[in-house]
Structure 1
Amino acid sequence: MGKKKKFEAIVNIKNRKASYQFEFIDKYVAGMVLKGTEIKSIRENKVSLAESFCVFHRGELFVRQMHIAPYSMAASYNHEAVRDRKLLLNKKELEKLKSKSAEKGLTMIPVRIFINDRGLAKMEIALGRGKKLHDKRQDLKEKDAKREIQRMALN
């Protein structure tokens, strides 16, 4: 019996800019509809969430502008790098997200992509409100203070 790989530890792709630019109100975990070579590229950590966002189209949730690099070992059956990818959520969660995203100032942002213990690609989505400039400055001050405290504790 061979050991099973733990994908959670291997694949954990984050959207670092999202926490700086948005204040998260609620988080959801959604499945993703992918093509064959896309999952292989995700396992190689060749994904960029920097420009991506979520949108509703005909009652279904899609992620747009997410870049998954073409798989290097595939010959002619490769996928498009940037395309709309469907996200899978429960009906109740979809309705809740749709009603909340209709409020002024709220957006749905992909925060993280990971592979669960069953080997399925999942995306963590956050419902967020954009931060103002003074909020961003306050976060940076808090971050610097925490870093300074850690340095003092180590010395």
Structure 2
Amino acid sequence: MALQQKINIKNRRASFEYEFIDKFVTGLVLLGTEIKSIRLGKAGLSDAYCYFMKGELYVKNLHIAEYAYGTHYNHETRRERKLLLNKKELRKLERKTKESGLTIIPTRLFINDRGLAKLEIALAKGKKQHDKRETLKKKDAKREMDRMRKV
């Protein structure tokens, strides 16, 4: 049995643009060629966001590259994909997004121990420009401290 590499695709821009309030791990409804592309690490979360439609949560603009060996059964790269959460979590997320102007963004796409693709989503609030500058200052200070420790 071949040793499989860990797939962990992150949305690095999300932590810069948003302040995370709560995180959830969801399942995805995928086609066969989509899971094969994810296992090869060919996915991107940079422009993706989540929205509600008829009480169900969907992710839009999640880019999963076409599978190289897929024939006419290949998938669309940026199609809408349904997210799998229990009803209690769905109601909580829908209530929070409607009442307080929060948004839901995907932060990480990974393959769990059982071989299933999972998407970590975050209930998030957009940062203001001065908050982004503060984040950059903290990151630079941390980098300087790490450099000083190595010397």
TM-score range relative to shorter protein: over 0.9
Match of 2:138 among 130, 135, 142: 142
Structure 2, gaps ≥5 residues long? none
Structure 1 residue runs of 4 or more that deviate by more than 3 Å after TM superposition: 2-5
Q: Tell me what 1:63 maps to.
A: 59
Which of 26-35 and 99-108 deviates more? 99-108
TM-score by length of 1: 0.94
Q: Does 1:99 align with 2:132?
A: no
Give the superposition deviation at 1:142. 0.4
TM-score by length of 2: 0.96
Structure 1, gaps ≥5 residues long? none
Q: Does 1:26 align with 2:15?
A: no
Give the superposition deviation at 1:94. 0.4
- What's the % identity of the aligned pairs? 60
Alignment length (residue pairs): 151
Root-mean-square deviation (Å): 1.1
Q: Tell me what 1:52 maps to.
A: 48
CA displacement, residues 28-85 of structure 1 (integer Å, 9 cap, x when unaligned): 0000000000000001111111111000001110001111110001122101111110
CA displacement, residues 112-139 of structure 1 (integer Å, 9 cap, x when unaligned): 0000000000000000000000000001
CA distance in structure 2 between the partners assigned to 1:58 and 1:97 by the alignment = 14
Which of 143-152 and 74-83 deviates more? 74-83
Counterpart amino acid of 1:31?
G
Q: Does 1:152 align with 2:148?
A: yes
CA distance in structure 2 between the partners assigned to 1:136 and 1:77 by the alignment = 43
